[in-house]
Amino acid sequence: MAEARSRLLTDAAATPSPAVAIPREATAAALLAALAAVLPFLLGWLSVAPNRLVSPRPVALPMAAAALPLGLFLLCCLGVALLARRRALLPWAEAVAGLALLALLATLGLGAGAALEGASRLARVAPGAGVWFSALALLLAGGCCAAGRGRMADATPTRFLAVALPGLALLVASGLLDPLSLLKEAAQRGPELRLALLRHAVLAAGALTLAAAVAVPLSLLALRRPRLEAALMTLANGLQVVPSIALFGLLMAPLAGLAAMWPPLRAAGIGGIGAAPAVIGIAAYLLLPLAAGMLAGLRQAPPELIDAARGQGMNERAILRHLRVPLGLGAMLGGLRVAAVQAVGLATLAALVGAGGLGAIVFQGIGQLAADLILLGVLPVVALSLCVDALLAAAQRLLMPPGTRA
Amino acid sequence: MRLSRRAAGVLAQALAFLLALWAAPHLGWLWGGLFPEVQRPVWDQRNWFALLGSHLLLSLGAAAVAAVLGLAGGILATRQSGRRLRPLLDALFSLAQAVPPIAVIALALPALGFGAAPTLLALVLYACLPVLRGAVAGLDGVPPGVLDAARGIGMGPWRGLTQIEMPLALPVVLSSLRLAVVLSIATAAVGAMAGAECLGTPIVVGLANNNGAYVLQGGLFTAWLALLADRALALLLPARR
């Protein structure tokens, strides 16, 4: 809350700018757009390896083959820098940053295809370091533009993702990116990847449901019982300190013991290995954001308003339904958003206890020190959590009554 | 008086932790009793104190680097000339929330190789963020009137920063430093996945070999160390209420 207040203070300090003034986001966005445009040329567009086992070496981008998307990419970078100079155009700058990412990838795909011409079938081509850093700079530029939107200093690049993700799906479907080794790896492991993604989402959603089933009733009870609230928050805070990998490990032994003692549990698929310790472990970390968000939300309604409602003869249940929940929805959704993003990230470690998910692909890649395999696991995790964050941020903006934004 | 009592309590806990660490290899009956099906229930691949040492070196080293970077960034972002950096920081925070540390470790692995380096990178990145956020929040929280008064009595920007702003921002900064240290002690355990030697190593080895006893011992000491560090660093902060 102190954080939100300080953000408000800084925003208040920065907002007296009249409509014509250049927004403060302009400098950072322009800097990042310039970096995005320059980095691939400095650090390399492509790296080619004669086969999977030899380490790759950087090669120059075949300009002639990729001239069109390259031009578009540079134009988009320039566009981001220029559009960000007007506050009203910041959302457009954010979307154009997404377009720049797509042009960057198209350049990469066409360049990779040209670089592979005449090479052996075993040759593998991957994006150079410059492309990765450029993509990162574009994502951050999108975030900078998003940070200028409204009073909630909230840098989730919703519009960037709304442009980039469907575009990326189109690019992949069109086969333009097929020459890249990452896509070859993905094609080989298609069914496995889809299954892992699904399982990852199910693990995260299961943990979120479990945590909500504990945190929501407890927060409602704790609202007017300070002792219970102190105990709940102490527990939730204490759990945050326990390293996730240790908690998953510690849960395995008691769960295995329980399953051994009580066969129906084992029959239900609950045991020391698998989804059970992962879901419980992840849920433990989600208690804090969920409970803190719930309690903050429930206290959003001003006490005078609640007194007035009581005076009118409303009972507690009606106050909850008509006052506390609608007024606190924003804060509650904020907690849900933090928890959901954490759940997606933590589910990566679920593979450690044999629960599968995208982490299984990541750890397989770590075991083989195979960069493509690691990326194949990590990139969907990042995309998934960015999507969840953006969707819930949008929901938060839509559902919050205008007066309660803070 | 109260502080010294709290300090004594933390010291006693630390001694208990070290004692348990020393005793762990001698407790074969305990681990064997809990995991009768495991053939070698006692962790003896590496000395516990060596693991503790490298765990602390890794996490405290990362936290120290992160503290310097985070404070410098926070001071820069709160100067008049650095305010334009603020949106970049917001974007960084929001991105860092979406990328779990294990993803950073895994991504850095092909470039930096197995061992402590990728973990160190991830730890510095993640410990940096709370310090940066704390420094910005703390320095922002200094009332403008106080700064005006400092300027009015002829203090330059440097003296204003070191004698007025930093002391006033100190509680927030310290609590963010505590968060950074605890976070990096907790996250360092994940580094065992990438071959960094630390208290997480027995967990990873145990998971790979289906040895629940190793997992339990590693998990126990990792969690204990993190809780201990949290308690110890709480001594730095003024007592609540």
CATH of the domain at B199: 1.10.3720.10
Q: Which residues pair with A58 in a beta bridge?
A: A47
Query: How many other CB atoms are there within 10 angstroms of residue B195's CB atom?
Result: 17
Whether the CA torsion A160, A161, A164, A170 is positive or negative: it is negative
The pLDDT of A335-343, averaged and rounded, is 92
pLDDT tops 60 at residue A185: yes
Q: Name the CATH code of domain A191-404 (choices 3.10.129.10, 3.90.79.10, 1.25.40.10, 1.10.3720.10).
A: 1.10.3720.10
pLDDT tops 60 at residue A114: yes
pLDDT per residue as tens digits for the range A146-161: 887 654 547 788 888 9
User: Any CB–CB contact under 8 A between A280 and chain B?
Assistant: no
Q: Is residue B116 part of a domain?
A: yes
Q: Rounded mean pLDDT of chain A?
A: 83
Q: How confident is the model at residue A65 (pLDDT cuts 50, 70, 90)?
A: confident
Q: Which residues pair with A59 in a beta bridge?
A: A46
> Which of A334, A322, A333, A324 has its CA nearest to residue A303?
A324
Q: Is residue B82 part of a domain?
A: yes
pLDDT tops 90 at residue A370: no
Specify the 3-state DSSP secondary structure of A47. strand
Residue A252 to residue B92, Cβ atoms within 8 A: no
The pLDDT of A384-389, averaged and rounded, is 91
Q: What is the pLDDT of residue A405?
A: 47
Q: Is residue B96 part of a domain?
A: yes
Q: What is the pLDDT of residue A150?
A: 54
The pLDDT of A192-220, averaged and rounded, is 93
User: Any CB–CB contact under 8 A between B218 and chain A?
Assistant: yes
What percent of chain A shows pLDDT beyond 70? 90
User: Any CB–CB contact under 8 A between A40 and chain B?
Assistant: no
Residue B103 to residue A348, Cβ atoms within 8 A: yes
Q: What is the pLDDT of residue A138?
A: 92
User: Which of A143, A345, A377 lies nearest to residue B90, judging by beta carbons?
Assistant: A143
What range does the domain containing B105 cover? 47-234
DSSP string, B134-182: HHHHHHHTS-HHHHHHHHHTT--HHHIIIIIIHHHHHHHHHHHHHHHHH
Q: Is residue B130 part of a domain?
A: yes
The pTM of this model reads: 0.84
The pLDDT of B42-52, averaged and rounded, is 85
Q: Using alpha carbons only, give the angle A256, A195, A252 rounded to the nearest 5 degrees.
A: 15
User: Any CB–CB contact under 8 A between B240 and chain A?
Assistant: no
Residue B106 to residue A377, Cβ atoms within 8 A: yes
Question: Which residues does chain A have within 8 Å of residue B193's beta carbon, measured at their own beta carbons?
Answer: 245, 352, 363, 366
Q: What is the pLDDT of residue A13?
A: 46
Contact present, A361 and A380 (Cβ < 8 Å): no
User: Any CB–CB contact under 8 A between A249 and chain B?
Assistant: yes
Domain boundaries, chain A: 11-187, 191-404
Contact present, B138 and B169 (Cβ < 8 Å): yes
Contact partners, residue B77, CB within 8 Å, separation at least 6: B83, B85, B86, B89, B132, B136
pLDDT tops 90 at residue A61: no
Residue A3 to residue B133, Cβ atoms within 8 A: yes
Q: β-strand A46-49 against A124-127: which pairing, if any? A: antiparallel
DSSP string, A142-187: HHHHHHTSSSS-----HHHHHHHHHHHHHHHHHTTTTTBHHHHHHH
Residue B212 to residue A346, Cβ atoms within 8 A: no
Question: Which residues does chain B have within 8 Å of residue A36's beta carbon, measured at their own beta carbons?
Answer: none
Residue B83 to residue A139, Cβ atoms within 8 A: no
Q: How confident is the model at residue A20 (pLDDT cuts 50, 70, 90)?
A: low
CA neighbours within 13 Å on the CB side: how many for B146?
Answer: 14
- The residue in chain B having the minimum alpha-carbon distance to the alpha carbon of residue A4 is B137
Q: What is the pLDDT of residue A269?
A: 67
> Which of B164, B72, B84 has its CA nearest to residue A147?
B84
User: Any CB–CB contact under 8 A between A156 and chain B?
Assistant: yes
Residue B216 to residue A381, Cβ atoms within 8 A: no
Report residue A88 as tokens. 């009203």
Report residue A296 as tokens. 């903050």
Contact present, B162 and B184 (Cβ < 8 Å): no
Poorest-confidence range of A52-56, A260-264, A273-277, B40-44?
A52-56
Q: β-strand A46-49 against A57-59: which pairing, if any? A: antiparallel
pLDDT per residue as tens digits for the range B210-241: 787 888 888 888 888 988 988 888 887 765 43
- The more confident residue out of A125 and A211 is A211
- Quote the minimal CA–CA distance from B189 to chain A in Å: 7
The ipTM, to two decimals, is 0.82
Question: Which residues does chain A have within 8 Å of residue B137's beta carbon, measured at their own beta carbons?
Answer: 2-3, 6
Contact partners, residue A124, CB within 8 Å, separation at least 6: A48, A49, A51, A52, A56, A181, A184
Residue B218 to residue A272, Cβ atoms within 8 A: no
pLDDT per residue as tens digits for the range B56-103: 999 999 999 999 999 998 898 888 877 788 888 878 888 887 888 888
Q: Is residue B92 part of a domain?
A: yes
As a whole number of Å, the end-to-end CA separation of chain B is 15
What is the count of structural domains for chain B? 1
Residue A253 to residue B88, Cβ atoms within 8 A: no
Report residue A268 as tokens. 């239900």
User: Which of B88, B141, B189 lies nearest to residue A144, judging by beta carbons?
Assistant: B88
Strand extents, DSSP E, A214-278: none
What percent of chain A shows pLDDT beyond 90? 25
Q: How confident is the model at residue A90 (pLDDT cuts 50, 70, 90)?
A: confident
Q: How far is CA A279 from CA A230, A256, A291, A304, B186, in A?
A: 25, 15, 18, 41, 19
Question: What burial class does residue B111 get, using C-beta atoms within 10 Å of its C-beta: 0-12 exposed, 13-18 middle, 19+ buried?
Answer: exposed
- The residue in chain B having the minimum alpha-carbon distance to the alpha carbon of residue A138 is B91
